[in-house]
Chains A and B, each alone.
Chain A
Amino acid sequence: MSATSAMPRTEVQTQPLTGSEVVLKALVEQGVDVVFGYPGGAVLPLYDAIFKQNSIRHILVRHEQGAVHAAEGYARSTGKVGVVLVTSGPGATNTVTGLTDALMDSVPVVCLTGQVPTHMIGNDAFQEADTVGITRPCTKHNYLVKEPARLAQVIHEAFHVARSGRPGPVVVDLPKDVLMGPAPYTPKETVRHKTYNPRVEPQADAIERALDLMAEARRPIFYVGGGVINAGPEACAAVTDLIRRTGFPVTLTLMGLGAFPASDPQFVGMLGMHGTYEANLAMHGCDVMVAIGSRFDDRVTGRLDSFSPGSRKIHIDIDPSSINKNVPVELGIVADAGRAVAALLEGWRARGLQPDGAKLGPWWDQIKAWQSRDSLRFRQSGDVIKPQHAIRRLYELTQGRETYITTEVGQHQMWAAQHFKFEQPRHWMTSGGLGTMGYGLPAAMGVQVAHPDALVIDIAGEASWVMNMQEMSTILQYRLPVKSFILNNSYMGMVRQWQEFFHGNRYSESYMDSLPDFVKLAEAFGAVGLRATKADELDDVIKEMIAVDRPVICDVVVDRAENVYPMIPGGAAHNEIKLSPEDDAPVRGSEHGMVLV
Chain B
Amino acid sequence: MTQVEERHTIAVLVDNEPGVLARVIGLFSGRGYNIDSLTVAEVDAERSRSRINIVTHGTAQVIEQIKALLDKLVPVHRVADLTIDGPSVERELALIKVVGGREQLVQALRLADFMHARLVDSSIESFVFEITGASDQIDAFIHLIEPLGLTEVSRAGVVAMARGPASLGRDDS
Contacts and interface: CB of A to CB of B under 8 A. Distances in A.
B4 interface: no
Nearest to A168: B72
A196 interface: yes
Interface residues of B, number: 20
A321 B74 contact: no
Given A321-B65, A328-B1, A136 B23 contact: yes
A320 B22 contact: no
B92 interface: no
A136 B72 contact: no
B72 A328 contact: no
B64 A324 contact: yes
A137 B22 CA distance: 10
Count chain B CB atoms within 10 A of each CB in A319, A323, A325 and give the residue with the most: A325
A161 B23 CA distance: 16
Interface string B6-24: 0000000001001100110
Contacts of A328: 1, 61
B26 A137 contact: yes
Contacts of B77: 194-195
A144 interface: yes
B133 interface: no
Contacts of B72: 165, 319-321
A141 B18 contact: no
A132 B19 contact: yes
Nearest to A195: B77
A161 B61 CA distance: 27
Contacts of A141: 73-74
A137 B23 CA distance: 8
B30 A137 contact: yes
Contacts of A320: 68, 71-72
A200 to B, nearest CB: 14
Given A133-B22, A196-B74, A321 B69 contact: yes
A430 B73 CA distance: 27
A119 B136 CA distance: 47
Given A321-B65, A324-B61, A324-B64, A195 B22 contact: no
Interface string B46-77: 00000000000000010011001101111111
Contacts of A324: 1, 61, 64-65
B61 A195 contact: no
Given A195-B74, A321-B65, A144 B18 contact: yes
A589 to B, nearest CB: 26
Nearest to A138: B30
Interface in B81-120: none
Count chain B CB atoms within 10 A of each CB in A194, A195, A328 and give the residue with the most: A195
Nearest to A136: B26
Nearest to A196: B74
A325 B65 contact: yes
B1 to A, nearest CB: 5
B52 to A, nearest CB: 14
Interface in A176-225: 194-196
Nearest to B22: A136
A221 B1 CA distance: 23
Interface in A318-338: 319-321, 323-325, 328
Contacts of A161: 74
Nearest to B77: A195
Nearest to B13: A195
Interface in A544-567: none
Contact of B76 (A144, A165, A195): A195
Contacts of B61: 324-325, 328
Nearest to A334: B68
A435 to B, nearest CB: 19
A140 B27 CA distance: 12
A548 B74 CA distance: 47
Nearest to B30: A137
23 contacts: A133-B22, A136-B19, A136-B23, A144-B19, A161-B74, A194-B15, A194-B77, A195-B76, A196-B74, A319-B68, A319-B72, A320-B68, A320-B71, A321-B65, A321-B68, A321-B69, A321-B72, A323-B68, A324-B1, A325-B61, A325-B65, A328-B1, A328-B61
9 cross-chain pairs, A with B, having the tightest CB-CB distances, nearest first:
A321-B68, A320-B68, A141-B74, A328-B1, A196-B74, A321-B69, A137-B30, A195-B77, A137-B26
Interface of A: 132-133, 136-137, 140-141, 144, 161, 165, 194-196, 319-321, 323-325, 328
Interface of B: 1, 15, 18-19, 22-23, 26, 30, 61, 64-65, 68-69, 71-77
Given A195-B15, A321-B72, 20 more contacts: A133-B22, A136-B23, A137-B30, A140-B74, A141-B74, A161-B74, A165-B72, A195-B74, A195-B75, A195-B76, A195-B77, A196-B74, A320-B68, A320-B72, A321-B68, A323-B68, A324-B1, A324-B61, A324-B64, A328-B61
